[in-house]
Structure 1
Amino acid sequence: MATETQIAIVQETWAGITASIDNKTVGTILFKHLFKTTPAATAIFPFAEAYNGGRHTAEDMYASPRFLSHAVKVVSAVNLAVTYLKDLPTLVPILQSLGQKHVAYGVVTEHYDLVGGALIATLVDALGEKWTVDVKEAWLAIWGLLRSTMDPDAN
């Protein structure tokens, strides 16, 4: 369980990131990390179909409206979660619903770990020297909460 201090750290660092980097860019960085560490993950996403077939480059995919729309949705979901960290009665049903939708897309427990790793790598990039041990521990605690709430197999 995350502490009040960890929640404050996550909310403060996320606010700093989103104030200086737009959602499209944050989402693109996140997916670049995801696909760099796990290229096979592209098979899960409809926006990557042309990329998977070799008809377009990765940069074409990252510039496509379908990709950018999804990237913004992911960052918006993180934003929503960070905003409601102190209001779990509101946040938990939202995350559970989001998790159920992802089951229909073929998302399994292991995928949450991959996305969590990509999110952490994105935070490291965005925060630079502000990425400290305390910040890392706070984000890992919050990601654990978000992951276990979204993943129906974790409950």
Structure 2
Amino acid sequence: MTPDQVKLVQSSFSKVAPISEQAAVMFYDRLFEIAPQVKSMFPADMTEQRKKLMTMLAAVVNGLGNLESILPAASALAKRHVGYGAKAEHYPVVGAALLWTLEKGLGDGWTPAVADAWTTAYGTLAGFMISEAYGRSQAAE
């Protein structure tokens, strides 16, 4: 990621943070709409899960300027997700739900440059997490 992409992700996320509860609801609603098979991996009461999502996103976004600082936590998270039944092929679906949520949440602020920055950020992190959880060969697919 370029320094400009990091700034775009961070500045756009600061506009989503005030509506974090609504954004988390939108994200999971979209995820379960496009991938209903993953719903069974989540608790019936999603309140705590939505908070965890937004806390994790905030930590990742804030750490993008020093990616090495967030990689140990991302690695641990990826390995925990395996235990929940997550598979490498779920990462693109989660990314699609995240980008859709950001696009809806940011409205006119979702510019091509912001979309590209978020796509790059998610792709970088997802690739790392997949390689940590499942090995390098699946991350390359």
Are positions 1:69 and 2:73 aligned together? no
Q: Distance in 2 between matches of 1:24 and 1:98?
A: 21
Root mean square deviation of aligned Cα: 1.2
Change (3 A) 1:29 1:154: farther
Q: Tell me, which stretches of 5 or more residues in structure 2 are unaligned?
A: 137-141
- Deviation digits for residues 82-130 of structure 1, max 9, x if unmatched? 0000112211111001101111111111111111111001001101011
Amino acid at match of 1:33: R
CA distance in 2, matches of 1:29, 1:35: 10
Query: Match for 1:136 among 102, 115, 120?
Result: 115
Residue 37 of structure 1 pairs with residue 34 of structure 2: yes
Match of 2:58 in 1: 79
Change (3 A) 1:11 1:154: farther
CA distance in 2, matches of 1:36, 1:105: 19
Q: What is the TM-score with the length of structure 1 in the denominator?
A: 0.82
Unaligned segments of structure 1, at least 5 residues: 49-65
Instruction: Give the number of aligned pairs.
Output: 134
Return the offset for 1:154: 5.5
Moved over 2 A (4+): 152-155
- Residues in 2 aligned to 1:80 and 1:135: alpha-carbon distance in whole angstroms: 19
Q: Percent identity, please.
A: 29
| Residue 129 of structure 2: aligned partner | 150
**Hey, what's the Cα distance between the residues in 1 that align with 2:57 and 2:135?**
19
